[in-house]
Amino acid sequence: MKIAMVGTGYVGLVSGTCFAETGVDVTCVDIDKTKIDNLNKGILPIWEPGLEDMVVRNVNRKTLHFTTSLKEALERGVEVVFSAVGTPPDEDGSADLQYVLEVARQVGAYMTDYLVMVTKSTVPIGTAEKVRKIIQEELDKRGLDLSFDVSSNPEFLKEGSAIQDFLKPDRIVIGVDSPKAEAIMLKLYRPFELNNYPIIVMDIPSAEMTKYAANSMLATKISFMNDIANLCEIVGADAQNVRRGIGSDTRIGSQFLYPGAGYGGSCFPKDVKALIKTADENHYSLDILKSVEAVNNRQKKVLYTKVLRYFKGQLEGKTIALWGLSFKPNTDDMREAPALVFIEKMLEQGVKIKAYDPVAMEESKRRIGDVVEYGENQYDILREADALVVITEWSDFRLPDLDKMALLMNNKAIFDGRNIYNPQELLSLGWYYEAIGSHKNQ
């Protein structure tokens, strides 16, 4: 079976490579020539555990190909074309569909036989219909009477564990409106079905909505817990205890209940915004999600507020060490990362920031340049620091050498944005320690 995966970013590269792993012949297409040239040399554009080996293995066994030409990919006789291009937020918060619709236009312009055009990108309800219309218009322009189907197959993988998530999914959602497309999609996913991963076939609008509803629900859990954690601090409760107390209720579940410095990344912020916008356009107000967004925007400033309060508003000339830059561990992705908000607010106050991240420093340099000083390792940046702020819970930061840290730092203060340290231990060793949602602050 031959397929094309258009858009070779986090989702496209992982999905394409994992399909290749099951024996499918996959052509990954991207308009970014440097990305494709590098991939052809075995150099990956993203950092994702286990991906490099898998890409190299499948390139060598010729199940995975890379090109900048969708036309060339279509000429290989593909049965399925996935669109995994970006859908960034437009200025008004709605999903910008220009890349998805451009892929549809090219498919209509170059397809030579029946195929299923599948949208894997996260797109608003009704996008499949827009895609269908554009392909048909292009075919009409060419005077060709070719049949095709559209499908929605949203992706639920998480950066940092993307390969595991793709190969061992909780479920696969397939939106189709033709038996032929359904049969082709089920054939493609047969290796997953054989391994008993649930495949849920549904109508296309419901599949499109499922992805937004899933991300919105997860974002809601995070903002809910952050809100409760902030109240815990005020009333003298401990959010960690509350988290355990409610997470053990199977109706609630323990995941996504960790209070922290706010959610970021390429998905939750933009998907919550886009669903709010879809509802607004349909004269319905998604009040819960509006609050989820507002709570998260406030939460991204929580570490800044704590540090400001600790230094009694006098931040000018201070040096703060920052552990973590990526929006979560095991990725170099910094889209909407809380670290960016923290850095911006601190620089406004005349603070010197020294930062370290195990993999995201190159990405940080690309985004914000040298406005912060980068360290060789996590201890390097502690020299003469007035406080340490932990914003990403990389495993490297979990059991640090506290004696060494005390010798390096000007002042023994830790602001833990991910609640990874033992407060009693730090307090007994004379550290000032603040986490999120705990009253045991000093």
Round to whole Å and give the CA distance between 398 and 326. 16
For ligand NAD, the closer of residues 29 and 390 by Cβ is 29
Nearest CB to ligand NAD, comparing residues 160 and 400: 160
Could you tell me which residues come within 8 angstroms of residue 190 by beta carbon, excluding any fewer than 6 positions away?
none
- Residue from 18, 21, 27, 30 touching ligand NAD (CB under 6 A): that is 30
Return the exposure string of 375-411: e unless at least 16 CB atoms fall within 10 Å of the residue's CB, then b.
beebbebbeebbbbbbbbbbebbeebebeebeebbeb
Q: Which residue in the list 18, 28, 232, 267 is annotated as catalytic? A: 267
CA dihedral 325, 331, 335, 340 (to 10 degrees): 0
232 is catalytic: no
Does position 12 interact with ligand NAD (CB under 6 A)? The reply is: yes
Other C-beta atoms closer than 10 Å to the C-beta of 175 total: 27
Q: Alpha-carbon distance 233 to 310, whole Å?
A: 15
Exposed/middle/buried for residue 257 (C-beta within 10 Å: 0-12, 13-18, 19+): buried
Give the shortest CB-267-to-ligand NAD separation in angstroms: 5
According to the binding rule CB under 6 A, does residue 207 interact with ligand NAD? no
- Pairwise CA distance, residues 197 & 217, whole Å: 22
**Residue 386 touches ligand NAD, criterion: CB under 6 A:** no
Distance in angstroms (rounded) separating the CA atoms of residues 11 and 166: 10
**Residue 72 binds to ligand NAD (criterion: CB under 6 A):** no
Based on CB atoms, which residue is closest to ligand NAD, 270 or 318?
270
Identity of the residue, 32 or 182, whose beta carbon is nearer to ligand NAD in the bound complex: 32
Q: Applying CB under 6 A, which of residues 21, 48, 149, 159 lies at the interface with ligand NAD?
A: 159
Show contacts with ligand NAD in window 78-107 (CB under 6 A): 84-87, 99, 102-103
The least CB distance from residue 46 to ligand NAD, in Å, is 7
Q: Does residue 167 bind ligand NAD (CB under 6 A)?
A: no
Which one among 266, 326, 378, 392 touches ligand NAD, defined by CB under 6 A? 266
- Minimum distance from residue 103 beta carbon to ligand NAD (Å): 5
Task: Compute the CA torsion angle 158, 160, 165, 166 (nearest 10 deg).
Answer: 90
Active site residues: 267
Interacting residue ranges for ligand NAD, rule: CB under 6 A: 6-12, 29-32, 35, 84-87, 99, 102-103, 121-122, 155, 157, 159, 266-267
